[in-house]
Amino acid sequence: MNLVFLGPPGSGKGTQAERLAEKQSLPHIAVGDLLREEVRKNSETGQRIKAVMEAGNLVPDEVTITLTCSRITQPDAQKGFILDGFPRNTVQAEALDKRLKEENKMLNRVVYFDISEEQIVNRLSGRRSCKKCGAVYHLQFNPPKNENVCDKCGGELYQRADDAENAIRTRFAVYRQQTQPLIDRYKREKILVNVEAGKDIKEVFAELLLAIQYGS
Ligand code: ADP
Ligand code: AMP
């Protein structure tokens, strides 16, 4: 199963991808995590993209396309993958199609996480992420057992710089302008499935399992 998770920031893509990856032994490829890792390492790429990410804008296509296309061709992704946060615009979608075609592969489903912006603001302001393993929590909706400590690896939890109010506004605007149009593209290709992402985490997961198996 080659899957793409598409939806606004904070719609729960990472949370659900983490669960699905575990259940179906598929790699969860979170492009935002790959980029944050470059920033953390302070690599040349990391230095170039840090300010862009903190402001909530998209990093240059050539960076995300190179990172993603090389990641999806690694051995652990041969039996399938969950691509979370890519593509985010038409250029990226075309690059992904081209790369998959070269490998004689295709996308099986694109899952659209459907949710109102009102709910999202709440989610993003309470989000906490693990510095070490990237696991995602919410102070109210999915709290860790011990405050500021990751249940999975004991790493320290932090609030992402781009979860500040200004950056959230920019990310919504970027999503509406550049990413939302992809919904129609995948609808036309008849691979789009909808999940009502405003429900609680368990309900969304149940709907996700049905949607990837039977469509929506
Ligand atoms: P995305 O990857 O789409 O940006 P996340 O998975 O990081 O979104 O979720 C954003 C925040 O919302 C996190 O703090 C997460 O714990 C919380 N969250 C995710 N799904 C739900 C849900 N169904 N109900 C309530 N909170 C949720
Ligand atoms: P995310 O972790 O998915 O919320 O992504 C966090 C940030 O990483 C985004 O706001 C962008 O700055 C950057 N980013 C993630 N995925 C992409 C992508 N496909 N194209 C461009 N920038 C991206």
Query: Residue 175: what are its φ and ψ, rounded to 5°?
Result: -60, -50
Compute, in angstroms, the gap from residue 20 CA to the centroid of ligand 2.
21
Is the CB of 8 within 6 Å of ligand 1? no
pLDDT tens-place values along the chain, 216 residues long? 999 999 999 999 999 999 999 999 999 999 999 999 999 999 999 999 999 999 999 999 999 999 999 999 999 999 999 999 999 999 999 999 999 999 999 999 999 999 998 889 889 999 999 999 999 999 999 999 999 999 999 999 999 999 988 899 999 999 999 999 999 999 999 999 999 999 999 999 999 999 999 887
Domain range annotation of the chain: 2-116+164-214
DSSP 208: H
Is the CB of 205 within 6 Å of ligand 1? no
CATH code: domain 2-116+164-214 is 3.40.50.300
The count of other CB atoms within 10 Å of the CB of residue 81 is 25
**88 assigned to active site:** yes
Phi-psi region of 199 (alpha: psi -120 to 50; beta: other; left: phi over 0): beta
